[in-house]
Amino acid sequence: MKNKTLIETVELQQIKDDCQMCIAETGKQIPFPIKRVYYMVHNTPALPRGYHSHKKLEQIFFCISGTMKMILDDGFHKEEIILDDPGVGLRLRPMIWHEMHEITKDTIMLVFASDSYDESDYIREYATFKKQVDLICNS
């Protein structure tokens, strides 16, 4: 279960002229079929978010405006990354606990998800997450 690094970035095709256009296509930059797209807009400095993991869902987070720090945890070690480039996303695989901190008031986060919303896919308690990781590693 130990990963070499938890941080896996995805770079979009970019066209820069009088604006910055970023292009995301399934099978090219996005390694899974997109079944859900959502975004978060922060008009005031935001409280930390996340504090959960997914059993099966895979996502890619793009900070298309503002900045945000993501903390990733696989149950063995933690890593941090600042998202501040709209052309670079963070791939979040299943069973990675994630937290979002230092979210600036102008942050817009765009997320591509591999499946539709399913509450049963969430692990919302860190102790439960750690037990699941231990079960996976010991089986």
The single-letter code of the amino acid at 107 is T
Q: What is the pLDDT of residue 16?
A: 78
pLDDT in tens, 79-106: 999 999 999 999 999 999 999 999 999 9
User: pLDDT tens across 45-54, in order?
Assistant: 678 899 999 9
Interval 13-24: pLDDT, tens: 778 787 778 788
Known catalytic residue at 77: no
Q: Which domains does the chain have, with CATH numbers?
A: 9-137 (2.60.120.10)
Point out the catalytic residue in the list 52, 54, 98, 101: 52
